[in-house]
């Protein structure tokens, strides 16, 4: 998954939104640092989605700016210093909104891709 | 959240972000080591995995920066680039800035004058341009002020204005004895300061309660200027007493420092209630003799009511309402020989006002300023074009590297704007420096009268300059910039330096033609003005002012009453005549050719029955014995005044030839006829007819005029004229000494030669000619510079062509001739266009010209010669230089 930060690109909104959603989702299980977020998304997607640091860190800044996550320095299990991101209540609400938007989108795409299927059924 | 934390939240914390990245790299490396990698390789590969560090930081930073900061940053980098590239080419940059400075400076000066006269004529009063003025008009168009009772009626019944105030300006004597001086004084209605919104700096202004009854309000408000000059800004000035026209008034306040009265051009220093007019000796042409009755006389022309229109009321609306009021007034209080009607005009069109007189001159200057600006703009367009051509390499590289044309054009426009701002600033400075020089010149001519122009260079002028500068830089830099961006990459990369663009050549040609045409128009205008001033200077006014003095005094300034004054002037005549080298001496009320008309007096001619509504009123002068001999005015019939025509003798008068022709059919018939002049006693017998002279202006038509004997009809303020063959300065000093010998305490208002006393009549011509000359010379210089630049550039571009021609055997002479004929062809085209435009435009100058026609062949021929000469020189020099090029080196360069 390659993400550009060009804001004039209309496509970017969708992609930004998607990456943001993935990050928020990852933080549902507790605070994590940037590297771990990237690794988690990669592992969860069975190595399909590789989030580049160049997209991840600006995205984290964007989420912090919107107040959906907060950041705090702490220690990793391996006793490394790292900055941990935590979901805020605002962020949780946003994640719910994103999830419903996402499933609507997937449904819609699914209906387009499999026109024979009864509308409203999942895959 | 504290403010610092909030600020921190608004932007990326750089250190924190870098620490986070370092932590990321460390963890990633650790991960790899855990997977069995070599620690060094792990560090390197995690760095590689991360990607572009700088870009990531940049992207993170952009999350926090608002979009407009981004756009601004782009602009700033454009400006920075523009500054760098302009600094590398100082000759170009300084030329453009200089050209703009001249174009903007002269226009800013003209705009400042326009502002001071029409847009914001009253200093210290916001929105004064919205004032409207009411005045009376007789059936034959003579404009009159309104009487005080009529003003009161209008003020109390009008619904079109938010309020009507009245004001009239007069010269008063301030103080008594040696230190006495004259000052402009406005006699105003009680609501004057309130309606204008002028506040006191100290004490109070005048109020409606200062307008109850004549003689009951002996108060005065000072201007800030006189308070500082004459009273050293005395903090206890309020309550002190001033002697004005031998009457005593108490100072009640000092007006706002910015306020100089509402009489444009006059520096008004005193403001008194209109109710003090009788005690200060103002008569307003009233026949009434008791002071209290003057303000009740409906024939007295006191002032023009004026005020701000109510919101939503148009001028036409107000005129209709005032018309209706005046009809009601005529029905309710009928008045014999009242003025026909009342009219309403905007402030700048008020009769007797300076704006109305100055605006025609000013409009010529505005037109000249615009022409000059056009030349300056054509110049800049040429410069930008030439520079654009020599930058084709740079532009080609930018385009090749992927810059869009919009981006390149934007950059070029930013460059123009970067040049426009210093041009505007310097132009405003030029105007700011230049205007006081002009004003100082005018003040000198007006001395000892104080004048004031609202000619401050304020934010309005600066805004105007910036707008014009940016506008011209944009408009005239845009097309050339667009052309520059249309670079053919291939040809540039092939180092083909000779542009073949037909459009570019056309633009260049058009610029040369335009500059020639516009500068021709400017030069024609300047030539006509110069010739007209010359004609006005040398014109014969009908009398001989050379070797004559004009020394002005007012015996009231040392407290003389009429009896003592008569004795004084008798003695003065005797002693002046006895002076060494004095041929003759006389007295006069006014010096002719003072530019403005003196008030006309109503006249009755015995045996002549005026037609219904005919308004007989002529200008007059009270003069002493020997007046016509002293000024060398021929007496066509009868005799001039003599010593015997005094208060004991029968009342007499002298008329001019035009008046004698009009009523009696000739000079000889006039002798013995009788006339009566309003305000100057009973019927007078005509004893002489004098030849016509110019009474106010050199270009006035012949008009009737009346001379009254000063020894018979007493005037406290007179001018002593002496004629002698010696140097006039010595005569002036002698006259001054004679007056001092008679009364050392009597102040002398002005002592100079008659020629310099009359200079006011040519003041406007002088000022206009000076300005037009400056405009013409500047325009010519700019046009020559622009043409030179464009032609020499064309020549430079043709080096290759010249090389081939000369290699094929052309002589240097034929090369020069080829360029010259090209240049002359363009100049001829420009001249033809300019001539057509000039012929159409100079007709507008008609009323301002004297002694030359608007199509004066000499002025046109001179202008054509100058323009053609300029173009030929501008072509010859570069062509000659080109003809000396070595054909080999020119070819090798390719």
Structural domain boundaries of chain B?
3-65, 71-123+359-443+455-496, 139-339, 511-537+761-894, 549-760
Distance of CA B678 to the CA centre of its chain: 38
- For residue B584 the two structure tokens come to 């003759």
- Classified as helix, coil or strand, A72 is strand
Nearest CA of chain B to the CA of A29: how many Å?
20
What residues of chain B lie within 8 A of the CB of A39, using their CB? 31
Compare CB distances from B23 to A7, A58, A80 and report the shortest one's residue: A80
What residues of chain B lie within 8 A of the CB of A33, using their CB? 23-24, 27
A58: nearest CA partner in chain B:
B60
Distances in Å between the Cα of B847 and the Cα atoms of B326, B621, B842, B844, B850 are 34, 27, 10, 7, 8
Mean pLDDT of all residues belonging to chain B: 85
Cβ neighbours of B758 (radius 10 Å): 23
Mean pLDDT to the nearest integer, B586-597: 86
pLDDT tens, residue by residue, B436-451: 888 888 787 777 778 8
What is the enclosing helix (H) or strand (E) of B534?
Answer: helix B502-538
Partner A contacted by B64 (CB < 8 A): yes
Nearest CA of chain A to the CA of B51: how many Å?
7
Q: Is 80 exceeded by the pLDDT of residue B643?
A: yes
> Which pLDDT score, from 0 to 100, does residue A11 have?
41
Q: Is 60 exceeded by the pLDDT of residue A18?
A: yes
- Residue predicted with more confidence, B140 or B501: B140
Partner B contacted by A16 (CB < 8 A): no
CB B391 within 8 A of CB B69: no
Nearest CA of chain A to the CA of B75: how many Å?
18
Nearest CA of chain B to the CA of A72: how many Å?
11
CB B776 within 8 A of CB B527: yes
Q: Contact A58/B62, CB-based, under 8 Å?
A: yes
B67: nearest CA partner in chain A:
A7
Nearest CA of chain B to the CA of A75: how many Å?
11
Distance CA B859, CA B446 (A): 31
- Classified as helix, coil or strand, A90 is helix
Partner A contacted by B773 (CB < 8 A): no
What residues of chain B lie within 8 A of the CB of A80, using their CB? 23, 26-27, 30
Question: B interface mutation test: which of A16, A36, A58 has the most B CBs within 10 A?
Answer: A58
Closest of B481, B375, B368 to residue B773, by C-alpha = B368
Nearest CA of chain A to the CA of B53: how many Å?
7
B70: nearest CA partner in chain A:
A7
Q: Is 80 exceeded by the pLDDT of residue B886?
A: no
CB B882 within 8 A of CB B820: no
CB B339 within 8 A of CB B138: yes
What residues of chain A lie within 8 A of the CB of B63, using their CB? 58, 61-62, 65
What residues of chain A lie within 8 A of the CB of B31, using their CB? 35, 39
Query: Taking each helix axis from N to C terminus, what angle separates B90-114 and B760-797, rounded to the nearest 10 degrees?
Result: 150
Residue A119 lies inside a defined structural domain of this protein: no
Q: Are β-strands B219-222 and B247-255 bridged in parallel, bridged antiparallel, or unpaired? A: parallel
Nearest CA of chain A to the CA of B10: how many Å?
8
Question: A interface mutation test: which of B20, B58, B62 has the most A CBs within 10 A?
Answer: B20
Partner A contacted by B829 (CB < 8 A): no
- For residue B768 the two structure tokens come to 């206009």
Residue A117 lies inside a defined structural domain of this protein: no
Distance of CA B848 to the CA centre of its chain: 15
Q: Contact A54/B55, CB-based, under 8 Å?
A: yes
Residue A101 lies inside a defined structural domain of this protein: yes
Nearest CA of chain A to the CA of B400: how many Å?
23
Q: Contact A57/B30, CB-based, under 8 Å?
A: no
Distances in Å between the Cα of B116 and the Cα atoms of B108, B437, B738 are 12, 16, 43
Q: Contact B52/A83, CB-based, under 8 Å?
A: no
Question: A interface mutation test: which of B7, B23, B30 has the most A CBs within 10 A?
Answer: B23
A77: nearest CA partner in chain B:
B27
B8: nearest CA partner in chain A:
A65
Instruction: Tell me the β-bridge partners of B620.
Output: B706
Q: Contact A61/B60, CB-based, under 8 Å?
A: yes
What residues of chain B lie within 8 A of the CB of A62, using their CB? 63
Q: Is 80 exceeded by the pLDDT of residue B352?
A: no
Compare CB distances from A82 to B27, B55, B59 and report the shortest one's residue: B27
pLDDT tens, residue by residue, B201-222: 999 999 999 999 888 899 999 9
- Classified as helix, coil or strand, B154 is helix
Mean pLDDT to the nearest integer, B643-671: 93
Measure CA of the first residue to CA of the last residue in chain B; give whole Å.
70
What residues of chain A lie within 8 A of the CB of B20, using their CB? 34, 57, 82-83
What residues of chain A lie within 8 A of the CB of B17, using their CB? 57, 61
- Taking a contact as any Cβ pair under 8 Å apart, which residues of chain A between 55 and 114 contact chain B? 57-58, 61-62, 65, 76, 78, 80-83
Compare CB distances from B63 to A61, A76, A81 and report the shortest one's residue: A61
Nearest CA of chain A to the CA of B876: how many Å?
56
What residues of chain A lie within 8 A of the CB of B27, using their CB? 33, 35-36, 76, 78, 80, 82
- Residue predicted with more confidence, B799 or B667: B667
What residues of chain A lie within 8 A of the CB of B51, using their CB? 52-54
Number of domains in chain A: 1
Please report which confidence band the pLDDT of residue B139 belongs to, taking 50, 70 and 90 as the band edges.
confident
Report the predicted TM-score, pTM, of the whole model to 2 decimal places: 0.72
What residues of chain A lie within 8 A of the CB of B50, using their CB? 53-54
pLDDT tens, residue by residue, B737-755: 999 999 988 888 888 999 8
Question: B interface mutation test: which of A53, A59, A63, A81 has the most B CBs within 10 A?
Answer: A53
pLDDT tens, residue by residue, B769-797: 777 778 888 887 887 777 777 777 777 67
Q: Exposed, middle or buried: residue B336 (CB in 10 Å: 0-12, 13-18, 19+)?
A: exposed
Q: Exposed, middle or buried: residue B248 (CB in 10 Å: 0-12, 13-18, 19+)?
A: exposed
Q: Contact A52/B51, CB-based, under 8 Å?
A: yes
What residues of chain B lie within 8 A of the CB of A52, using their CB? 51
Q: Which range, of A21-30, A64-73, B101-110, B519-528, averages the lowest pLDDT? A: B519-528
Q: Contact B17/A57, CB-based, under 8 Å?
A: yes
DSSP class of residue B117 equals I
CB B827 within 8 A of CB B872: yes
Q: Which H, E and C letters describe B30-86, residue by residue? A: HHHHHCCCCHHHHHHHHHHHHCCHHHHHHHHHHHHCCHHHHHHHHHHHHHHHHHHHH
Q: Which range, of A74-83, B286-295, B346-355, averages the lowest pLDDT? A: B286-295
Closest of B765, B321, B275 to residue B538, by C-alpha = B765
pLDDT tens, residue by residue, B263-320: 888 899 999 999 999 888 888 877 676 767 888 888 888 888 999 999 889 999 999 9
What residues of chain B lie within 8 A of the CB of A76, using their CB? 27
- Residue predicted with more confidence, B242 or B56: B242
Phi/psi at B127 (5° precision): 75, 25
Residue showing tokens 């034929």: B814
Q: Contact A34/B64, CB-based, under 8 Å?
A: no
With b for 16 or more beta-carbon neighbours within 10 A and e for fewer, the A83-122 pattern comes to bbbebbeebeebbeebeeeeeeeeeeebeeeeeeeeeeee
Partner B contacted by A5 (CB < 8 A): yes
Instruction: Tell me the β-bridge partners of B605.
Output: B675
pLDDT tens, residue by residue, B605-625: 998 888 766 778 899 999 999
Instruction: Tell me the β-bridge partners of A72.
Output: A84
Q: Contact A54/B51, CB-based, under 8 Å?
A: yes
Distance CA B19, CA B617 (A): 97
Q: Contact A54/B64, CB-based, under 8 Å?
A: no
Distance CA B267, CA B257 (A): 12
Mean pLDDT to the nearest integer, B840-867: 82
Mean pLDDT to the nearest integer, B323-345: 84
- For residue B231 the two structure tokens come to 């009273």
B14: nearest CA partner in chain A:
A61
Q: Which range, of B49-63, B386-400, B689-703, averages the lowest pLDDT? A: B386-400
Mean pLDDT to the nearest integer, A28-43: 90
Cβ neighbours of B138 (radius 10 Å): 17
> Which pLDDT score, from 0 to 100, does residue B358 have?
77
Please report which confidence band the pLDDT of residue A12 belongs to, taking 50, 70 and 90 as the band edges.
very low
CB B303 within 8 A of CB B146: yes
Please report which confidence band the pLDDT of residue B149 belongs to, taking 50, 70 and 90 as the band edges.
very high
Q: Is 80 exceeded by the pLDDT of residue B845?
A: no
Distance CA B770, CA B431 (A): 15
User: Residue A26 is part of a domain; what is its CATH number?
Assistant: 1.10.10.10
CB B123 within 8 A of CB B458: no
Partner A contacted by B26 (CB < 8 A): yes
**Residue-number span of the structural domain to which A76 is assigned:** 10-112
CB B362 within 8 A of CB B107: no
């Amino acid at each position: 998954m390659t993400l550009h930060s060009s804001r004039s690109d209309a496509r970017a909104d969708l992609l930004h939104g998607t990456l943001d959603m993935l990050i928020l989702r990852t933080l549902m299980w507790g605070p994590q640092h940037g590297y771990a977020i990237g690794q988690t998304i990669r592992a969860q997607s069975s190595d399909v989605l590789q989030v580049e640091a160049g997209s991840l860190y600006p995205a984290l800044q964007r989420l912090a700016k919107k107040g959906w996550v907060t950041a705090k320095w702490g220690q990793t299990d391996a006793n490394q210093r790292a900055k941990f991101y935590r979901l805020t209540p605002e962020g949780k609400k946003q994640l719910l909104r994103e999830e419903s938007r996402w499933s609507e989108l997937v449904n819609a795409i699914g209906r387009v891709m499999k026109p024979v299927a009864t509308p409203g059924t999942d895959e | 959240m504290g403010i610092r934390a909030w600020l921190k939240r608004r932007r990326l914390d750089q250190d924190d972000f870098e620490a986070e990245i370092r932590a990321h790299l460390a963890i990633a490396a650790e991960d790899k080591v855990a997977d069995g990698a070599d620690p060094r390789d792990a560090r390197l590969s995690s760095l590689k995995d991360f990607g572009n560090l700088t870009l990531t930081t940049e992207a993170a930073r952009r999350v926090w920066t608002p979009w407009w900061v981004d756009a601004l940053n782009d602009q700033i980098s454009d400006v920075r680039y523009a500054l760098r590239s302009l600094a590398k080419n100082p000759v170009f940059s300084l030329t453009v800035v200089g050209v703009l400075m001249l174009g903007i400076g002269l226009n800013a000066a003209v705009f400042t004058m326009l502002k001071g006269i029409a847009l914001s004529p009253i200093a210290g009063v916001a929105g004064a341009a919205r004032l409207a003025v009411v005045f009376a008009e007789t059936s034959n168009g003579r404009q009159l002020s309104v009487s005080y009772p009529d003003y009161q009626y209008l003020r109390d019944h009008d619904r079109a204005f938010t309020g009507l105030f009245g004001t009239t300006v007069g010269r008063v004597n301030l103080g008594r004895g040696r230190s006495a001086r004259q000052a402009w004084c406005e006699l105003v209605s009680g609501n004057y300061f309130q309606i204008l919104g002028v506040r006191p700096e100290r004490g109070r202004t005048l109020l409606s309660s200062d307008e109850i009854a004549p003689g009951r309000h002996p108060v005065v408000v000072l201007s800030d200027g006189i308070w500082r000059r004459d009273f050293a800004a005395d903090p206890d000035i309020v309550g002190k007493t001033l002697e004005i026209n031998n009457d005593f008034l108490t100072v009640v306040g000092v007006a706002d420092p910015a306020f100089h009265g509402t009489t444009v051009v006059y520096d008004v220093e005193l403001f008194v209630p209109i109710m003090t007019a009788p005690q200060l000796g103002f008569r307003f042409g009233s026949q009434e003799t008791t002071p209290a009755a003057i303000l009740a006389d409906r024939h007295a022309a006191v002032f023009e009511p004026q005020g701000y229109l109510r919101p939503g009321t148009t001028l036409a609306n107000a005129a209709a309402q005032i018309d209706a009021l005046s009809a009601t007034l005529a029905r309710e209080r009928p008045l014999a020989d009242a003025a026909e009607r009342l009219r309403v005009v905007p402030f700048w069109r008020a009769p007797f006002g300076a704006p109305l007189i100055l605006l025609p001159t000013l409009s010529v200057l505005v037109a000249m300023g615009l022409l000059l600006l056009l030349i300056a703009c054509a110049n800049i367009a040429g410069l930008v074009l030439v520079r654009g051509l020599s930058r084709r390499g740079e532009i080609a590289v930018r385009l090749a590297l992927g810059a869009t044309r919009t981006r390149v054009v934007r950059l070029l426009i930013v460059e123009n704007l970067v040049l426009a701002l210093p041009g505007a600033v310097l132009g405003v400075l030029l105007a700011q420096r230049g205007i006081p020089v002009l004003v100082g010149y005018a003040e000198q001519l007006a001395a000892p009268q104080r004048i004031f122009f609202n000619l401050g260079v304020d934010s309005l002028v600066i805004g105007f300059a910036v707008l014009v500068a940016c506008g011209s830089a944009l408009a005239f830099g845009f097309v050339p910039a667009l052309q520059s961006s249309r670079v053919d990459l291939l040809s540039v990369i092939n180092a083909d330096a000779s542009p073949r663009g037909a459009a570019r050549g056309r633009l260049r040609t058009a610029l040369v033609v335009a500059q020639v045409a516009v500068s021709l128009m400017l030069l024609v205008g300047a030539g006509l003005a110069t010739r007209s001033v010359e004609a006005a200077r040398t014109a014969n006014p009908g009398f001989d002012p050379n070797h004559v003095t004009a020394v002005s005094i007012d015996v009231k300034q040392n407290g003389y009453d009429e009896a003592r004054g008569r004795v004084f002037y008798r003695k003065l005549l005797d002693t002046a005549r006895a002076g060494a080298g004095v041929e003759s001496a006389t007295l006069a009320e006014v010096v002719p050719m003072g530019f403005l008309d003196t008030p006309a007096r109503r006249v009755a001619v015995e045996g002549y029955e005026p037609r219904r509504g005919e308004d007989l009123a002529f200008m007059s002068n009270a003069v002493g014995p020997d007046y016509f001999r002293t000024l060398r005015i021929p007496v066509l019939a009868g005799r001039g005044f003599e010593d015997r025509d005094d208060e004991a003798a029968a009342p007499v008068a002298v008329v001019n030839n035009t008046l004698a022709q009009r009523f009696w059919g000739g000079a000889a018939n006039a002798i013995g006829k009788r006339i009566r002049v309003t305000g100057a006693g009973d019927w007078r017998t005509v004893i002489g007819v004098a030849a016509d002279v110019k009474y106010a202006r050199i270009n006035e038509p012949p008009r009737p005029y009346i001379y009254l004997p000063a020894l018979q009809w007493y005037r406290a303020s007179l001018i002593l004229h002496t004629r002698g063959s010696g140097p006039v300065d010595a005569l002036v000093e002698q006259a001054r000494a004679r007056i001092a010998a008679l009364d050392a305490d009597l102040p002398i208002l002005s002592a100079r030669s008659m020629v310099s006393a009359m200079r006011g009549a040519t003041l406007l011509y002088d000022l206009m000619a000076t300005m037009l000359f400056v405009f013409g010379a500047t325009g010519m210089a700019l046009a020559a510079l622009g043409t030179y630049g464009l032609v020499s550039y064309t020549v430079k571009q043709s080096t290759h062509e010249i090389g081939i021609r000369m290699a094929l055997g052309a002589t240097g002479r034929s090369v020069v001739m080829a360029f010259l004929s090209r240049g002359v062809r363009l100049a001829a085209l420009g001249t033809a266009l300019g001539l057509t435009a000039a012929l159409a435009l100079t007709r507008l100058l008609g009323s301002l010209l004297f002694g030359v026609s608007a199509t004066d062949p000499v002025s046109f021929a001179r202008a054509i010669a100058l323009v053609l000469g300029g173009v030929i020189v501008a072509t010859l020099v570069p062509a000659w230089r080109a003809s000396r090029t070595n054909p080999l080196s020119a070819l090798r360069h390719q």
